[in-house]
Amino acid sequence: MITISVNNKKHQLNDDVDPETPLLWVLRDTLGMTGTKFGCGMGQCGSCTVHYNGEATKSCQLQVGSVGDAEITTIEGLEGNGDHPLQQAWKEHNVPQCGYCQSGQIMAAAAMLADNPKPTDDDIDLKMSGNLCRCGTYQRIRAAIHIASASKEASS
């Protein structure tokens, strides 16, 4: 039996969950946490980005059996009321268009900021290029990350 910790809560999975199942589908279909999105299934688009011990990870490429004791954080658990500086900045800049990729974008950005609180444009472009947005919101994502970065700095 597999037990995983998601958003600081332990989930014991039924025996019928194949350990080779990508974490993405366990989150979505087994645990009903649909904030993490399916976009490609081969680590190309980043819609399924979660944090694995704080590190941005594509959950479609992570077998649930290999999660072990790691702490998984999803968009639902990023910040209690959805008021992470990035989520606020995303709203301030009206970043989303269709919104589908934005959970993954925010999770990728959050991991980056934790690692590098003052990223340059080039840092952002490099780190965020694993996350596709077909609506083309990249410019606002970049701007929102800078805003969140500044507000985090101001509050720390």
Partner 1 sequence: MSPTITAPNQPIPEVSRRTFLASLAASTLVIAAGTNGNRALAWAMQDADDNLPFEPNLFIAIDTAGAVTILAHRSEMGTGIKTSLPMVVADELGADWDRVTIKQAIGDARLGSQNTDGSRSIRRFYEPMRIAGATARTMLERAAAQRWNVSPDECKGRDHQVVHEPTNRTINFGDLVADAKSLETPSENDLKFKPKSEHRYIGRDIPIADLDDIVKGSATFGLDLKREGMLYAVIARSPVLGGQPIKVEVREARQTPGVVDIITLPDFTAPHAFQPLGGVAVIATSTWAAIQGREALKIEWSKSDHDTLNSKEHEATLATSARTPGRVVRKSGDAPATIANAQTANIHEADYYVPMLSHAPMEPPCAVAEVTKNAAGEPISCEAWAPTQNPQAAQSQVAQSLGIQPERVTVNVTLLGGGFGRKSKPDYVAEAALLSSELDKPVQVTWTREDDIQHDYYHTNAAMHMQAVVKDDGLPTAWLQRSAFPSIMSTFNPAADEGSGFELALGFTDIPYDVPNLQVENGKAEAHVRIGWLRSVAHIYHAFAVCSFPDELARRANRDPYEYLMDLMGEPRNLDLTGVEYPNHGEPLSRYPFEVGRLRHVTQRAAKLANWPRKLPKGRGLGIASHRSFLSYCATVVEVDISESGSLSIPNVWTVIDAGLVVNPDRVHAQLEGAAVFGASLTMHGEITATNGAIDQSNFHDYRVARMNDAPKRIHTEIIESDALPAGVGEVGVPPFAPALCNAIADATGLRIRRLPLSKHDLSWNG
| 98 scored as a contact of partner 1 (CB under 8 A) | yes
> Applying CB under 8 A, which part among 51-59, 95-103, 111-119, 146-154 lies near partner 1?
95-103
Give the sheet arrangement for strand 55-58, strand by strand: 9-12, 3-6, 71-73, 49-52, 55-58
> Applying CB under 8 A, which part among 22-30, 51-59, 110-118, 148-156 lies near partner 1?
22-30
Q: Taking CA 142 as the corner, what is the angle to CA 139 and CA 145, rounded to the nearest 5 degrees? A: 150
Nearest-approach distance from CB 22 to partner 1, in angstroms: 6
User: Which tokens hold the place of 99?
Assistant: 């919104």
3-state secondary structure of 14: coil
DSSP state of 28: I
Residue with tokens 């941005």: 56
Instruction: In whole angstroms, give the CA distance from residue 14 to residue 145.
Output: 39
Type of residue numbered 82: G
Nearest-approach distance from CB 78 to partner 1, in angstroms: 8
Nearest-approach distance from CB 109 to partner 1, in angstroms: 11
Nearer to partner 1, 111 or 133 (CB): 133
Nearest-approach distance from CB 41 to partner 1, in angstroms: 6
Write out the residues near partner 1 by the rule CB under 8 A.
16, 18, 21-22, 25, 28-30, 32, 34-42, 44-45, 47, 74-76, 82, 87, 90-91, 94-103, 106, 121, 124-126, 128-142
